[in-house]
Amino acid sequence: MHSERAPLGLRVAAFAGLLFLHLPILLIFVYAFTTEDKSYQWPPPGFTTQWFGVTWNRPDVWQALSLSLKVAAISTCIALILGTLAAAAVSRAAFWGREAVTLLVILPIALPGIITGIALRSAFNLGEIPFSTLTIVLGHATFCIVVVYNNSVARFRRISGSMLEASADLGANGFQTFRHVVLPNIATALLAGGMLAFALSFDEVIVTTFTAGQQQTLPIWMLEELVRPRQRPVTNVVAMVVVIVTFLPILAAYYLTRGTTDTAGSGK
């Protein structure tokens, strides 16, 4: 099939847009190799890999990374369970207030993060819940659920009711129907939603600021390092890790849902 080439002006505009989006990320990668440890200079005065070794031996980096991975993993598990159950209820049953339930489920990701953070902090204070890993997880789960829900509800609506009826007619109970009929049909949607939820939780800053107390996730650590820098290239090395950890799940989720009509999720 013959396809016309886009006009030169359109191609230039597209390239300029991509450059505008990704040039700052490329600069982060460049400054991770600079020999200057106090300020940013262009062009960099020299290139070195010594900051990777310095970063590897910084215990504060490992503590922040460990907390971020722990929070993201737990938040994703909670989101997979609650998001899938909510999607199943909304897509497979008709009840009064169903649209209101849908609105309430997606509201946390539609609201500005600072509103969500203030609301959560106020609720924790009223409940006299001390700030800990649990409060960070609860904060992240509020918007991670939305990502899983968006992926799952689209896939649930594609499952024919006759398939479930046929499974019941053949003697399968509810669990067997879920395992052999429902789960294979929604597996890739759950995997994509889980990956996106993990990526969103891993790099969340605003909600974490209001729910972390004295703890530092990796994004919070990076912010404090930028305000009170000790070794600027270390921050850029860590930023490279964040970019990679965030990019890979999103890329995998894209390929898992490519060519389907499913919702791949939305960013925060």
Q: Express each pLDDT in 195-235 by its tens digit.
A: 888 888 888 888 888 888 788 888 888 887 777 666 677 77
- Residue 120: the pLDDT is 84
Q: How far apart are CA 82 and CA 148, in angstroms?
A: 9
Cα torsion at 104, 108, 110, 113 (round to 10°)?
160
**H helices present in the chain, as ranges:** 8-31, 50-56, 59-92, 98-110, 113-126, 133-156, 161-169, 174-177, 183-202, 206-211, 218-227, 232-257
- Residue 268: the pLDDT is 45
pLDDT at 68 over 80: yes
pLDDT at 121 over 80: yes
Between residues 8 and 80, the one the model is more confident about = 80
**Mean pLDDT value of segment 127-132:** 83
- Residue 192: the pLDDT is 80
pLDDT at 267 over 50: no
pLDDT at 266 over 50: no
Q: How far apart are CA 225 and CA 235, in angstroms?
A: 7
Give the Å distances, CA to CA, from 146 to 35, 143, 155, 173. 43, 5, 14, 29
CATH superfamily assigned to domain 59-257: MetI-like (1.10.3720.10)
- Residue type at position 189: A
pLDDT at 1 over 60: no
- Residue 261: the pLDDT is 45
- Cα–Cα nearest to 216, from 63, 2, 56: 63
pLDDT at 259 over 60: no
Q: How far apart are CA 129 and CA 204, in angstroms?
A: 21
- Residue 74: the pLDDT is 92
Give 110's pLDDT tier (boundaries 50, 70, 90). Answer: confident
**Mean pLDDT value of segment 148-163:** 74
Q: How far apart are CA 49 and CA 46, in angstroms?
A: 10
**Mean pLDDT value of segment 166-170:** 65
Whole-prediction pTM: 0.74
Q: What average pLDDT does the chain have?
A: 75
Q: Which of 87-101, 122-136, 232-246, 254-268 has the highest mean pLDDT?
A: 122-136
Q: Which string of b and e fits 110-141 if b means at least 16 CB within 10 Å?
A: eeebeebbebbbeebeeeeeebebebbbbbbb
Dig out the tokens for 169 from the structure.
């007619």
| Cis ω for the linkage preceding 43 (within 30 of 0) | yes
Cα torsion at 217, 219, 224, 226 (round to 10°)?
160
pLDDT at 65 over 70: yes
